[in-house]
């Protein structure tokens, strides 16, 4: 069974917040916990991504075209687009403190979607909400 702390972290992430406990357990089982030291690059803009990260502890800086665009912390998921489209990263993420992250790879994610199809609808709804939020920020 997945660690309760992993379930709690995943449930706090908007991408997975609508998932049932069973769905969260499947996602949590597919993750690995990794410690990233401050200063290390988690993912790099324009490089192909093969995993997504959920920050469990610590903070990181998001840079786009070399400019800082955000600071992120616990409960943030980064790299999730890589799970869906296998295209280059849209930003660079650098640990500003030591991080504890949950990592899920493309293959593991695809296996979950195949095993539990209901999760797909919830993820699409979450991504649609995110697109609407970004559209509202950009265009009012």
pLDDT tens-digit map of 52-96? 999 999 999 999 999 999 999 999 999 988 888 889 999 999 999
Residue 3 clears pLDDT 80, i.e. is over it: no
- How far apart CA 89 and CA 55 sit, in angstroms, is 17
Residue 1 clears pLDDT 70, i.e. is over it: no
* 95 burial via Cβ count (<10 Å: 0-12, 13-18, 19+): buried
Tell me the residue range of the domain where 91 lies: 4-139
Q: How many domains does the chain have?
A: 1
At 2 the pLDDT is 53
pTM (two decimals): 0.86
What CATH number did the domain enclosing 58 receive? 2.60.120.10
Q: What tokens does 50 get?
A: 């093969």
């Amino acid at each position: 069974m997945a660690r309760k702390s992993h379930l709690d972290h995943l449930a706090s992430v908007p991408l997975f917040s609508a998932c049932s406990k069973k769905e969260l357990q499947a996602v949590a089982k597919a993750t690995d916990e990794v410690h990233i030291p401050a200063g290390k690059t988690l993912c790099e803009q324009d490089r192909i991504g093969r995993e997504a990260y959920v920050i469990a502890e610590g903070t990181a800086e998001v840079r786009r075209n070399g400019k800082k665009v955000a600071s992120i912390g616990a409960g943030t998921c980064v790299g999730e687009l890589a799970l869906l489209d296998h295209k280059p990263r849209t930003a660079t993420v650098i640990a500003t403190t030591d991080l504890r992250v949950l990592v899920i790879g493309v293959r593991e994610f695809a296996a979950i979607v195949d095993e539990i199809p209901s999760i797909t609808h919830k993820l699409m709804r979450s991504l649609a909400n995110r697109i609407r939020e970004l559209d509202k920020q950009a265009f009012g």
